[in-house]
C-alpha cells in the first residue's frame, strides 16, 4: 500500500530538487522514503499518516524544550498579533543582545540575523575586515553553513588548500580556505609556524556535530587559542549547534576557552529562523554603520522569532535544567551501549550536554578520518530503519549528531533502548 509519505515525496520531486529543501532530509544516505511530518508535541512527532515517533533530531537542535512548548507558543502568538515584521529596531532585539551577553560574556557586542549560515559568513567577513587578511582555517568535517568559502573539500594533508566541494563555487574563492585535521595539534602548530601572520581567522565547532559528535582534545583547543593570540588571528567558535545545547554558556564555558567571536543559531530562535554573531567590541565595531564591513538583512531581529528565542533562553536558565538534560542523554547512551554489548554488536556512543553521537565502531572517533574509516555505515543504515519502524526518529545519516530535549521522559528513554535492543539483535 502506498503511504501518504510516499505520495508526497513523489509529488515533491517534481517541483522541489530532490523533493526536499535541505539535502539530508531526502534519506539518500540511508535509503527509503523520507518522513513528512504534520505535528510535534513534547518529545513526540506525528507524520502525515498519523504514525507517532520519539524525536531525537529536535529540528537539528533548536527544540531543547521539546515541540510546541506552551510558553514559547504563547510568546509567538503575542508577538505575531503586533505584526510579523517591522524592518526597524525593536526593544526585543536589545533584550536578546543583553541576555546573550549575560550568558556568553565573550560576546561583548551582538548582531542578529536570520540563520547560522548568515552568522558564520558575516563573522568571517568581519574578521577579515578587522585583520586585513584573506586566509581562513577550517577543519575537516566541520560544517559552517553553505557560503562559498566554507564549502571546501576536507583535506587529508598538511596545508591543504581548499578545493570547492560544491558546484558553483569558484576555485579562486575556495583557495583562501585552508583545511586541517580536527584534534591534530601538531598540524595546527606547523601551519601557524609557516603562515600564521597571514591568517585572518580560524573557525571551528568546539564540539563537532556535523560529522557525528566529535569531542575536542583540551590540548588542541588550548594550543589553538594560544596560537591565535600570538599571531593576531581571530578565533571564531561556531556554536550554532552547541550554543545553549551542551551548557548554558555553550561549549566555551565547558572547556574554559574564550574565543574572539562566536556564532549562534538554532536554540536562540526556539525553532524559528534566527542567527547571531558577536564578540570583542573592537572587532564588532568594524561593522557598518560604524565600520567598513557591510552586513544587513531585512528580517534580521525578526520580532516573532526573537520572542520565541527569548522565551526559550529564559526557560533554560531554570535551576538544574542542564543537569537533568545531561543525565537523560547519558542514560540513553549508556543504555544503548549495554544493549549492543549484550548481543555482541560493535558499537560505541558518547554525549555532551543534550547532544549525542552513535558509532558502529569499537571506540568513539576523534577526527573526520577516523569516523570515515571505522564507522560501519551499512550497520547504521539497518539500525536506522529498524528504529524508524519502531517509532524512533534519528538523523538519517551515520554522520549527524543527535539531540535529547527536556521533554524526553524516562519512559521515552526506556522504550528507545528496548527498540535498539531488537535492532542490534538483527545485526548480530
Active site residues: 143, 238, 266
Q: Are 83 and 303 in contact (CB under 8 A)?
A: yes
Look at the chain and count its residues: 428
CA distances from 267 to 27, 64, 246, 276 (A): 24, 7, 11, 11
Residues pairing with 392 in the sheet: 54
Q: Residue 418's Cα: distance from chain center in Å?
A: 28
Q: Are 329 and 404 in contact (CB under 8 A)?
A: yes
**Strand pairing category for 135-139 and 177-180:** parallel
According to DSSP H, which parts of 344-376 are helical?
368-374
Count CB-CB contacts under 10 A for residue 146. Answer: 16
Q: Are 207 and 255 in contact (CB under 8 A)?
A: no
Q: Residue 314's Cα: distance from chain center in Å?
A: 21
**Smallest Cα–Cα separation from 274: which of 315, 310, 235, 325?**
310
Q: Per the omega criterion (within 30 degrees of 0), is the bond before 289 cis? A: yes
Strand order from edge to edge, sheet including 37-41: 37-41, 44-47, 52-55, 392-393
According to DSSP H, which parts of 267-389 are helical?
281-284, 303-315, 321-343, 368-374, 377-389
Amino acid at each position: 500500500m502506498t503511504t501518504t509519505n510516499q505520495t508526497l515525496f513523489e509529488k515533491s520531486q517534481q517541483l522541489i530538487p530532490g523533493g526536499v529543501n535541505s539535502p539530508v532530509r531526502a534519506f539518500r544516505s540511508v535509503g527509503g522514503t523520507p518522513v513528512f511530518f504534520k505535528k510535534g508535541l513534547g518529545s513526540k512527532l506525528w507524520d502525515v499518516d498519523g504514525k507517532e515517533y520519539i524525536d531525537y533530531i529536535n529540528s537539528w537542535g533548536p527544540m531543547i524544550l521539546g515541540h510546541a512548548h506552551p510558553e514559547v507558543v504563547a510568546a509567538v502568538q503575542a508577538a505575531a498579533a503586533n505584526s510579523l515584521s517591522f524592518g526597524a529596531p525593536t526593544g526585543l532585539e536589545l533584550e536578546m543582545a543583553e541576555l546573550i551577553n549575560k550568558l556568553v560574556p565573550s560576546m561583548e557586542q551582538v548582531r542578529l540575523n536570520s540563520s547560522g549560515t548568515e552568522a558564520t559568513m558575516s563573522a568571517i567577513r568581519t574578521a577579515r575586515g578587522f585583520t586585513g587578511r584573506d586566509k581562513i582555517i577550517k577543519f575537516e568535517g566541520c560544517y559552517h553553513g553553505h557560503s562559498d568559502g566554507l564549502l571546501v573539500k576536507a583535506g587529508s594533508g598538511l596545508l591543504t588548500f581548499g578545493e570547492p566541494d560544491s558546484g558553483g563555487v569558484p576555485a579562486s574563492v575556495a583557495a583562501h580556505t585552508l583545511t586541517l585535521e580536527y584534534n591534530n595539534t601538531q598540524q595546527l602548530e606547523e601551519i601557524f609556524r609557516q603562515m600564521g601572520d597571514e591568517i585572518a581567522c580560524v573557525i571551528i565547532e568546539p564540539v563537532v556535530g556535523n560529522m557525528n559528535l566529535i569531542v575536542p582534545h583540551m590540548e588542541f583547543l588550548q594550543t589553538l587559542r594560544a596560537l591565535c593570540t600570538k599571531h593576531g588571528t581571530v578565533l571564531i567558535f561556531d556554536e550554532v549547534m552547541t550554543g545553549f545545547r551542551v551548557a548554558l554558556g555553550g561549549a566555551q564555558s565547558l572547556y574554559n576557552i574564550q574565543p574572539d567571536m562566536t556564532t549562534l543559531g538554532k536554540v536562540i530562535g526556539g525553532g524559528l529562523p534566527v542567527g547571531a554573531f558577536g564578540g570583542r567590541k573592537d572587532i564588532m565595531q568594524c561593522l557598518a554603520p560604524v565600520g567598513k564591513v557591510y552586513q544587513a538583512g531585512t528580517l534580521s531581529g525578526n520580532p516573532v522569532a526573537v520572542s520565541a528565542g527569548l522565551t526559550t533562553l529564559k526557560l533554560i536558565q531554570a535551576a538544574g535544567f542542564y543537569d537533568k538534560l545531561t543525565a537523560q542523554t547519558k542514560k540513553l547512551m549508556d543504555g544503548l551501549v549495554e544493549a549492543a554489548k549484550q548481543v555482541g554488536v560493535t558499537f560505541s556512543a558518547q554525549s555532551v550536554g543534550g547532544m549525542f553521537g552513535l558509532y558502529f565502531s569499537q571506540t568513539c572517533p576523534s577526527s573526520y578520518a577516523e569516523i570515515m574509516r571505522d564507522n560501519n555505515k551499512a550497520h547504521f543504515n539497518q539500525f536506522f530503519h529498524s528504529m524508524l519502524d519502531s517509532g524512533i526518529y534519528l538523523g538519517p545519516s551515520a554522520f549527524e549528531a543527535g539531540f535529547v530535549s527536556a521533554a524526553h521522559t524516562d519512559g521515552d528513554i526506556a522504550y528507545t533502548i528496548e527498540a535498539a535492543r531488537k535492532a542490534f539483535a538483527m545485526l548480530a
